[in-house]
Structure 1
Amino acid sequence: MAFEPPRRLVKALGEAAPGGDDWLAKLPEAAERAVALRGSTVERVQVPGGRGSLVILVRLADGTPAVLKLAPDRARPESERAALAHWDGLGAVRLLEPAGTEGVLLLERLHPDVSVRSLPEAKSMLEAAGTLRRLWVEPPSDHVFETVAERTGRQAEAMRAGADAEAVPLVDAALSVRAELLASPSRAHLLHGTFRQSKVLAGERSPWLAVGPDPVVGECAFDLARLVRDRVEDLIASPSGGSTTRRRIKRLAESLDLDQERLRGWTLFRAVESGVRARRVGRPRDAELLLEFAAWL
């Protein structure tokens, strides 16, 4: 079978590595090798798939439905493997192969076309937040995961370098709130790192399970912040988008027993960081939405 990467993946990797690399060129051969090594049968490549990996639906030799996920080093697949192993199926997709070829994950099959976004907005937020809560566990004592301070430090440098005149006030506000939050740290947990509604899929052993973590260790409000802006297009289109966002922050913070101001602060930082990055890689419409959203905070 020819393993042609979905357009979405090609575009996203082009944004992440505009100079190009050889991972995409080697991907068809790597996928063939991963399938053959496990004696599995390919059903299909998941389309549109993710922005950082090729997802292949397979059946193992014993008929078990599974997923093969191939990702480049910059997507930190080995960090994902370590987090999934630590969670061991609690709130997240189960890793079927604790050790394997670098950059290749064998995962339990969920329902790839059914995410929590299929539910009405209020219900989807409730289910997503409940799933996220189960992931917040103590990290392994010898963990090598990136910390929130380290990740946001890298992002802060890129924000300073990439902000145009229009975005500078928001960048200054985001960097200021980051400094305040890190100066008074909250208890650290293992976090999903890139959590949103589309990262929660329907399963068999549990109604909803998280997929695709980019794990990081830090306070829970950082992890919840990305969920606050889910369906941002709808929020921006609504005349009450600003008040709806503030109510969402309040309800999510209360439902998960988090400090509302810390959640607002990390929501601001993450929205501005994403907006500046979107503008830098040539996605002006996304940048406009994200920075307008951030201005409400």
Structure 2
Amino acid sequence: MIPAAFAQSTIDREGEAGAAWLAELPGIIEDLLSQWHCVADGPVMHGQVGVILPVRSSAGPAVLKVSFPHPGNVHEADAFTAWEGRGAVLLYERDDERFAMLLERAQPSTLWEVGDGDQIVAVAGRLSCRLSVAAPAELPRLADQADSWEDELRQGAADFPGVLPDAVLDAALAVVDELGRDQPDLLVHGDFHPRNILRGEREPWLAVDPKGYVGDPAYDGGTLLKPRALALIEAEDLMKALRHELDVFAEAAELDRERVRRWAHLHVVQAAFHGRRRGFGRARGGAYLDRILGLVDQLAVSWC
């Protein structure tokens, strides 16, 4: 029932705790199918931290999602509850103790697969605008991470001296101080990128896999632009192409362009240090990691 690749990656990442959870996972799934009166309707799929089983339920086609207990997944169901299907998949049932949800089934194709950059960022922008609703009081605040962001930036500069010019680091620290410490009380997806936007039946596009934060929607714009940079890496003028996509996104999202740019700058400076410590999901070492780090450094300077 559990895909081998998912099992191995969970053990590699979580160790004994991951192995113990995997041993319990088939029983958890069977219990939830019975509890929510569902019937399996396809093979088990998976993301990075959870499995997704297509099911038939009284609500119609749905998916059963069970995630490894992780702090990043605690408020996923809260975000879906607040959105009530407005721009995101509907939440039918939740079992917070077992990090499980019964969700509306979307199509497997993602916004990433569209190919047209303008369409990708325009769709994402319109969706971001719809998702920016008043946040439930119990959600964690992005502003509470500002001190740790500052500490990580300063530690990164100390650990990797000379990687980025001082002015680039100073600009990122200014984003933390000027945007990060006082943010709106709006719901922020927290992991807003094209692969977390699926084609739907009820609506053309639906968001999935939110972290669920309270903060500035422009933060999500910065998250979106990171993978877009990699998609445009072969562009004749990368920064011209990215600035154009920034303009399209900001207009569609009804956000201040400069605010989105500044969040994007913070994201790439963080990525420059993070990538040197741990690599990235698509490259842990070697020439490809070096190429990505070169791109990230370029963006950090150019967005400044």
User: In the TM superposition, what whole-angstrom CA distance separates every residue of 1:23-68 from its partner, at most 9, and x where no partner exists?
Assistant: 344434433333343343321112xx322222222223x4822111
Letter in 2 for 1:228: L
Mapped partners of 2:26, 2:163: distance in 1: 40
Mapped partners of 2:174, 2:206: distance in 1: 35
Residue 148 of structure 2, aligned match among 142, 146, 154: 154
- Aligned residue pairs, count: 287
Mapped partners of 2:210, 2:117: distance in 1: 22
Corresponding residue of 1:11 = 9
Residue 145 of structure 1, aligned match among 122, 139, 161: 139
1:73 aligned counterpart, secondary structure: coil
Letter in 2 for 1:174: A
Answer 1 or 2: which has greater helix percent: 2
2:91 aligned counterpart, secondary structure: coil
Letter in 1 for 2:43: R
Residue range with higher mean Cα deviation, 24-33 or 119-128: 24-33
Contact 1:5 1:54 in 2 (8 A): no
Corresponding residue of 2:28 = 30
Contact 1:66 1:109 in 2 (8 A): yes
Contact 1:13 1:52 in 2 (8 A): no
- Following superposition, the deviation at residue 75 of structure 1 comes to 4.5
Mapped partners of 1:275, 1:102: distance in 2: 35
Letter in 1 for 2:256: D
Contact 2:128 2:253 in 1 (8 A): no
Mapped partners of 1:196, 1:58: distance in 2: 26
2:240 aligned counterpart, secondary structure: helix
Task: Pick closer, same or farther for the CA change 1:153–1:144 going to 2, 3 Å.
Answer: farther
Mapped partners of 2:294, 2:8: distance in 1: 23
Mapped partners of 1:13, 1:134: distance in 2: 37
TM-score (norm. length: structure 2): 0.82
Mapped partners of 1:251, 1:195: distance in 2: 16
Mapped partners of 1:11, 1:67: distance in 2: 22
- Following superposition, the deviation at residue 171 of structure 1 comes to 4.5
- Following superposition, the deviation at residue 254 of structure 1 comes to 2.9
- Following superposition, the deviation at residue 217 of structure 1 comes to 0.7
Corresponding residue of 1:81 = 77
Name stretches of at least 5 consecutive residues in structure 2 with no aligned partner.
none
Mapped partners of 1:38, 1:23: distance in 2: 21
Name stretches of at least 5 consecutive residues in structure 1 with no aligned partner.
none
Residue range with higher mean Cα deviation, 93-102 or 66-75: 93-102
Mapped partners of 2:207, 2:11: distance in 1: 23
Does 2:67 correspond to 1:71?
A: yes
Task: Pick closer, same or farther for the CA change 1:153–1:38 going to 2, 3 Å.
Answer: same
Does 2:292 correspond to 1:295?
A: no
Residue range with higher mean Cα deviation, 100-109 or 197-206: 100-109
Mapped partners of 2:258, 2:251: distance in 1: 11
Contact 2:77 2:101 in 1 (8 A): yes
- Following superposition, the deviation at residue 250 of structure 1 comes to 2.6
Mapped partners of 1:124, 1:295: distance in 2: 25
Contact 1:3 1:31 in 2 (8 A): no
- Counting only pairs closer than 5 Å after superposition, residues 1-297 of structure 1 correspond to structure 2 as 2-4=1-3, 6-7=5-6, 10-11=8-9, 14=12, 17=14, 21=18, 22-42=20-40, 43-46=42-45, 49-60=46-57, 62=58, 64-98=60-94, 101-111=97-107, 113-119=108-114, 120-140=116-136, 143-162=137-156, 163-167=159-163, 169=165, 170-182=168-180, 185=182, 187-282=184-279, 283-284=284-285, 285=289, 286-297=292-303
- Following superposition, the deviation at residue 167 of structure 1 comes to 3.8
- Following superposition, the deviation at residue 91 of structure 1 comes to 0.7
- Following superposition, the deviation at residue 101 of structure 1 comes to 4.5
2:174 aligned counterpart, secondary structure: helix
Cα RMSD (Å): 2.7
- Following superposition, the deviation at residue 100 of structure 1 comes to 5.5
Contact 2:63 2:104 in 1 (8 A): yes
Contact 1:271 1:294 in 2 (8 A): yes
Mapped partners of 1:31, 1:292: distance in 2: 45
Mapped partners of 2:276, 2:66: distance in 1: 28
